[in-house]
Amino acid sequence: MHFKQRAGSALADAKLQSVMKRFGSGFVEKRTQARAAFGVDLFERLRDEGAKLRDRGLANLDVWLLRFEAEALRRGATVLWAGDTAEAREHVLRICREHGLKKAIKSKSMVSEEAGLNDALEAHGVQPVETDLGEYIIQLAKEPPSHIIAPAIHKDKEQVSDLFTEHHRKPRLTDIDELTREARVMLREHFLSADLGISGGNFLIAETGSVAIVTNEGNGRMTTTLPRVHIAITGIEKVIPTLEDLSLLNRLLPRSATGQAISNYVSVLTGPRGANDREGPEHMVFVLVDNGRTDFLGGEMQEMLRCIRCGACMNHCPVYQTVGGHAYGWVYPGPMGSVLTPMFNGLENALDLPQAATLCGACHVACPVKIPLPGLLRKLREKQVEQRLRPRTERAAIRLWAFAATRPWLYALGTKLAVRVLRMLSSSTGVIRRIPFDPGWTLGRDIPAPERKTFRQLYAEQRSERGNQGSPVTRIGKPSS
Amino acid sequence: MRVGLLVTCLVDMMRPRIGFSALKLLESAGCEVVVPAAQTCCGQPGWNSGDRASARALAEKLIDEFEGCDFVVAPSGSCAGMVKTHYPDLFPGEGAWLERAERLAARTWELTDFLTNVVKLDSPPSRFTGTVTYHDSCSGLRELGVKQQPRRLLAKLPGVRLKEMNGCETCCGFGGTFSVKFGEVSAAMADAKCEHILATGADVVVLGDLGCMLNIEGRLRRRGDNTTRVLHIAEVLSYEK
Ligand code: SF4
């Protein structure tokens, strides 16, 4: 199914629409306040620095990854490279076999979603339990996330009550605090009984071989310290050179994501439990996933690899605000998803995503690392045209337009006729309610009728009244008075 | 000061009076205005649809047509934005054309930006009165930084009261071909915009781009609203009645 159909069902879903109406302003408002509190100019400078920092990391990605590997190994961790998501799943399953692991608690990881890790674990007898509240909810609902940092944002309180009542087999609760408390109680047992913890990684720090995890619920800490084995699975582009760099990006990330000056928890995890440590996993494993990322290094899509998965672009996207995340059809929604999904899954498998944007630029100005998302979407559109992936009629229409617009006499004739036809179709109130062959405009809008004549016609008439004819460039003198 | 008026294709076809309003404003600011007769479209539909060749052909044509002008002014943030921020991208690494594109880009202005920051128009020739709300068009706002310019000009009209709407910077849902490819989503976005406009109680929504204009007006009328007027900033600033 394409974006268009899924967006159609999202628009028809009254419950979702009321949730999305409320979503619209929340995160945006909070980011605005956080930016103001930080100082608008300073924050803009920080975005510049963030973009540069990410570019520096990407320019020498191989160097930083090798440095990361060496430092992580030196501190007793294991580093496994995965070329694609199948390899990532194999790595994780092999570790489960080797250590006899049966239950995995998970803190939020988009790469785990990208790799479909939960299904793979389940199929091999390892029970995955999502411990981020939002992820937990959608795991119960058996749904994909609809937002990268607020995965259950499409659900309202009633729906969560229903899910909890059904799965927890307890009396129905409706108060949000009580619901949260019940989830904590349910999760507590899993935290204590799990033998594997799977986390994502917001950043990999090359100089120390550490992973940094930014969360609000504290589940990340338990996931990474309680079970015997900790696997951090993340994309290779997440490596940054130094801890100093982390402090810069960590000023940008929570402010852009939730409008917090800092998230409730920032964990920097380095190596497994040492001889003198009282806690921590016995084994720490990094699964670093490429899955197409290196293909974009050095190319015109490289800027996308700066992404720090904050979600600001979708929060600010008027299309996302209207249809929600599921319309985008895969794990990454919103503007970043419309770029990433075709990059990872193939342009031919995500035909209308690059088109599903008004190119309004709200994402670009919100992105903490200044990814020119509208520009990247436009480049994908260009590739679609080059690879003949757009419908023939559409390509023909644009070419016909250009053919006429490069021939002024033909263009003048065409527009004159078009105006006449549109006026014939218009009602007494000056609008056109339906036109033949309209692909979609009049579904929800009228077309305001054009005036009687084109500017070109009227201007020529006026000019001949002034008795000034002939030259291709017409000049009107300065006002005489 | 020789100013070329880039009428824009939508003004030419749908709302010529906006072109004449722009002309009047520029003349009243003392400009010598030229209107290249063979101008058509800036090429943005091709550019945004991924058809670089079409966009480029139209860019070359426009660059030729406006070569002799000191300034090029468009009553549209979207078309001015195309010339200013994207034309150079159409000629990567091509010495002569790139240089011409960059020279044109540097001389191109959105109308209210030009009136405020170049000719510093003091008293717009307008008798407009009423309560208005202003919709910021995306390209004007985010590509060209057009935000205070139209508001400053409106503030010069004694009979005008500006009442800002919530989300005045949020896209109305037009997005060029997006509006027909995803008609329902686009209309839903336009509807959200209409809600914000109506909540202000303004008689008129003023804006600076034809795409937004057709979209918002089209949605208002479909909702059955035949009273809220949709006017281009140039019309308001040169209003006669
Ligand atoms: S593209 Fe930018 S705004 Fe969107 S998630 Fe990535 S970093 Fe955040």
Taking the CA of residue A214 and the nearest CA in chain B, the distance in Å comes to 30
Three-state DSSP class for A289? strand
Coil, helix or strand for A152? coil
Residue A214: beta bridge partners? Answer: A266
| Contact present, A475 and B31 (Cβ < 8 Å) | no
Torsion angle in degrees (nearest 10) through CA of B17, B20, B22, B24: -130
Predicted local confidence at residue A437, as pLDDT: 79
SS3 A449: coil
Which pLDDT score is estimated for B138? Answer: 97
Helix, strand or coil for residue A265? strand
Cβ atoms < 10 Å from Cβ of A299: 11
- Pocket-testing residue among A309, A316, A343, ligand 1, by greatest number of atoms within 8 A of Cβ: A309
Residue A370 Cα: closest atom of ligand 1: 2
Other Cβ atoms closer than 10 A to A83? 12
Count of A–B CB contacts within 8 Å? Answer: 242
CA-closest candidate to residue B107, choices B28, B39, B6: B6
Alpha-carbon distance B80 to B4, whole Å? 12
Which one of A110, A252, A308, A363 would you pick to mutate in the ligand 1 pocket, going by the greatest count of ligand atoms within 8 A of its CB? A308
Q: Which atom of ligand 1 is nearest to the CA of A316?
A: 3
Q: Are strands A265-269 and A447-448 parallel, antiparallel or unpaired?
A: unpaired
Q: Are strands A473-476 and A127-130 parallel, antiparallel or unpaired?
A: unpaired
Q: Which of residues 178-237 of B touch A (CB under 8 A)?
A: 178-192, 213-215, 217-219, 221-222, 226, 230
B52–A441 C-beta distance less than 8 A: no
Is the minimum CB–CB distance between A74 and chain B shorter than 8 Å?
no
**B11-67 pLDDT, tens digit each:** 999 999 999 999 999 999 999 999 999 999 999 999 999 999 999 999 999 999 999
**Among A112, A43, A60, A149, residue whose Cα is nearest residue A369:** A43
A442 part of contact set with chain B, CB < 8 Å: yes
A53 closest CA partner among A212, A244, A261 = A244
CB contact under 8 A, A455 and B177: no
Q: Which of B14, B15, B28, B180 is the mutation pick for testing A, counting most A CBs within 10 A?
A: B14
**A440 — contact with chain B (CB < 8 Å)?**
yes
The answer to whether the Cα torsion of B198, B161, B15, B175 is positive or negative is: negative
**Closest CA relative to residue A28, chosen from A334, A316, A376:** A316
Q: How far apart are the first and last CA of chain B?
A: 29
Give the best residue of B49, B61, B63, B212 to mutate against chain A (max A CB count within 10 A): B49
A426 in contact with B, Cβ within 8 Å:
no
- Do the chains contact at B182 and A453, CB–CB below 8 Å? no
Query: Which residue's CA is the closest to the ligand 1 atom numbered 2?
Result: A367
Contacts of B61 in chain A (CB under 8 A): 405-406
Nearest CA-CA partner of A196 in A133, A279, A285: A285
**Alpha-carbon gap: A294 to the closest alpha carbon of chain B (Å):** 24
DSSP code, position A282: S
Please give the residue of chain A at the shortest CA–CA distance from B66.
A473
- Chain B, window 94-113: residues with a beta carbon less than 8 angstroms from a chain A beta carbon: none
Residue linked to tokens 């956080």: A34
Chain A: residue whose CA lies nearest to B229: A448
Rounded to the nearest 10 degrees, the angle between the axes of helix B52-65 and helix A392-405 is 10
**How far, in Å, CA of A381 to CA of A338, rounded?**
11
Instruction: Give chain A's radius of gyration (CA, Å).
Output: 27
Query: Residue A427: closest CA among chain B residues belongs to which residue?
Result: B221
Question: Shortest Cα distance from B131 to chain A (angstroms)?
Answer: 22
What pLDDT, on a 0 to 100 scale, did the predictor assign at position A164?
95
Q: Which of B147, B76, B160, B162 is nearest to B116 (CA)?
A: B147
- What are A390's two structure tokens? 């757009």
pLDDT tens digits for range A394-416 = 889 999 999 999 999 999 999 99
pLDDT tens for chain A, residues 1 to 481: 689 999 999 999 999 999 998 876 789 999 999 999 999 999 999 999 999 999 999 999 999 999 999 999 999 999 999 999 999 999 999 999 999 999 999 999 999 999 999 999 999 999 999 999 999 999 999 999 999 999 999 999 999 999 999 999 999 999 999 999 999 999 999 999 999 999 999 999 999 999 999 999 999 999 999 999 999 999 999 999 999 999 999 999 999 999 999 999 999 999 999 989 988 999 999 999 999 999 999 999 999 999 999 999 999 999 999 999 999 999 999 999 999 999 999 999 888 999 999 999 999 999 999 999 999 999 999 999 999 999 888 889 999 999 999 999 999 999 999 999 999 999 888 899 988 878 789 999 999 999 999 999 999 999 888 765 444 444 443 333 3
Inspect the interface and report whether the beta carbons of A398 and B184 lie closer than 8 Å.
no
Instruction: Find where tokens 């494993």 sit.
Output: A285
Distance from CA of B144 to the nearest CA of A (A): 12
On whether any CB of chain B is under 8 Å from the CB of A11, the answer is: yes
Interchain contact A361–B (C-beta under 8 A): yes
Q: Which residues make Cβ contacts (< 8 Å) with residue A247, sequence separation at least 6? A: none
Q: What is the pTM of this model?
A: 0.94
Residue B145 is encoded by which pair of tokens? 């930084």
**Three-class DSSP labels, chain B:** CEEEECCCHHHHHHCHHHHHHHHHHHHHCCCEEEEECCCCCCCHHHHHCCCHHHHHHHHHHHHHHCCCCCEEEECCHHHHHHHHHHHHHHCCCCHHHHHHHHHHHHHEEEHHHHHHHCCCCCCCCCCCCEEEEEECCHHHHHHHCCCHHHHHHHHCCCCEEECCCCCCCCCCCCCCCHHHHCHHHHHHHHHHHHHHHHHHCCCEEEECCHHHHHHHHHHHHHCCCCCCEEEEHHHHHCCCC
Nearest-neighbour CA in chain A from B81: distance (Å): 12
B175/A360 CB distance under 8 A: yes
Which alpha helices (DSSP H) does A271-391 contain, by range?
Answer: 312-315, 318-323, 334-345, 362-366, 373-386
Are B54 and A399 in contact (CB < 8 Å)? Answer: yes
* C-alpha dist (Å) from residue A166 to A145, A152, A174: 20, 17, 13
Check A360 against B171: CB less than 8 A apart.
yes
Tens of pLDDT along chain B (241 residues) come to 899 999 999 999 999 999 999 999 999 999 999 999 999 999 999 999 999 999 999 999 999 999 999 999 999 999 999 999 999 999 998 889 999 999 999 999 999 999 999 999 999 999 999 999 999 999 999 999 999 999 999 999 999 999 999 999 999 999 999 999 999 999 999 999 999 999 999 999 999 999 999 999 999 999 999 999 999 999 999 998 7
Q: Which residues line ligand 1 (CB under 6 A)?
A: A 307-313, 336, 366-369, 371
Q: A-contacting residues of B 134-163, CB under 8 Å?
A: 138-139, 141-143
Domains of chain B (ranges, CATH numbers): 2-117 (3.40.50), 130-237 (3.40.50.11810)
Partners of B36 in the β-ladder: A473
User: Which of these, B179, B46, B150, B84, lies nearest to A318 by C-alpha position?
Assistant: B179
**CB-facing half-sphere around the CA of A3: CA atoms within 13 A:** 31
Which of A384, A411, A433 lies at the smallest CB-CB distance from B40?
A411
Please judge whether B182 and A365 are an interchain contact, meaning their C-beta atoms are less than 8 angstroms apart.
Answer: no
| CB-based contact, A419 to chain B, within 8 Å | yes
Rounded Cα distance between A94 and A117, Å, is 13
Name the token pair of A430: 């000056």
Q: Phi-psi bin for B201: left (phi > 0), alpha (psi -120 to 50), beta?
A: left
What are the chain B neighbours of A367 within 8 Å (beta carbons)?
none
Contact state of B184 with A411 under an 8 Å Cβ cutoff: no
CB atoms within 10 A of CB B99: 12
Give the amino acid at A115: A
What strand order describes the sheet that includes B32-36?
A473-476, B32-36, B2-5, B71-74, B108-110
CA distance B233 to B137: 12
Q: Which domains does chain A have, with CATH numbers?
A: 39-296 (3.40.50.10420), 409-475 (no CATH)
Phi, psi values for residue A213, rounded to 5°: -125, 125
